[in-house]
Amino acid sequence: MARLKVGVLISGRGTNLGALIDACADPTFPAEIALVLSNKGDAKGLARARGAGLKVAVIDHRGKARESFDAEVDAALRAAGVEFICLAGFMRLFTAAFVERWYNRILNIHPSLLPSFKGLHVHEQTLAAGVRIGGCTVHVLRFAMDTGPIVVQAAVPVLDGDTPESLADRILAAEHKIYPLALRLFAEGRARVEGDHVRISGSYEPEGALISPPA
Ligand code: GRF
């Protein structure tokens, strides 16, 4: 079966990109990375992409209207044969036109259990709220920031004494598991968007609950 051709968009260190690169390195994984695109030439993740021999593009957003930037990104993705987009720490918002053009074909990862704690400073928000369980979410992109049908979530305990950094590290480890999983579900045709929801076929019910603190 042909592998789904994915474009991964980054702005920074690219550890989620790394998790996707590792997943795609398995020839039985149903997706492959056709392009890694960054709006920042100094994004650390670009080195990882180049090291893996992937095609890389840098499109600087500065001094451009949002429409022009999006048109350039769209052209680069199409030129590389991209069919599906994974945003992995990509710090730009797209125009409605771009989201429409790639409707239901863009995933994003966010370090909270959406719809809680949207936007920036997510780990600070999580700690400030005093929740005992945080987590991360892969969702289908819609125009409003950090909204869209949810594909996969991971729940992660929040511990007394956590700092934004320690919590971020724990959540990031879960991000690296759920992003490849979410991509696989789409690439295998097992995830399907129905309105505001994603339906998953062929999954099973997990047992038990994550209780935090455990006792
Ligand atoms: C991750 O925490 C992701 O959830 C958020 O931005 C961060 C990107 O990290 N959207 P990395 O660049 O993948 O290491």
Among 8, 16, 110, 136, say which to mutate for ligand 1: greatest number of ligand atoms within 8 Å of CB. 16
Q: Which atom of ligand 1 is nearest to the CA of 108?
A: 10
The average pLDDT across 102-118 equals: 98
134 Cβ closer than 6 Å to some ligand 1 atom: no
Mutate to test the pocket of ligand 1, among 106, 172, 178, 183 (most ligand atoms within 8 A of CB): 172
Q: How far is the CA of 90 from the centre of ligand 1 (A)?
A: 8
Tens-digit pLDDT profile for residues 31-56: 999 999 999 999 999 999 999 999 99
Whole-angstrom CA distances from 197 to 8, 12, 34, 96, 181 are: 23, 29, 27, 20, 17
pTM for this structure? 0.97
d(CA 102, CA 136): 23
**Measuring CA to CA, how many Å separate 122 from each of 22, 83, 130, 146?**
26, 30, 13, 11
Q: Is the bond preceding residue 111 a cis peptide, omega within 30 degrees?
A: no
197 is catalytic: no
Cα–Cα dist 197/128, whole Å? 29
The Cβ-side half-sphere exposure at 98, using a 13 Å CA radius, reads 22
95 has a pLDDT exceeding 90: yes
Instruction: Provide the percentage of residues in the chain whose pLDDT is more than 70.
Output: 100
Mean pLDDT of the chain: 97
Which of the residues 110, 123, 139, 176 is marked catalytic?
Answer: 110
CA distance 80 to 44: 22
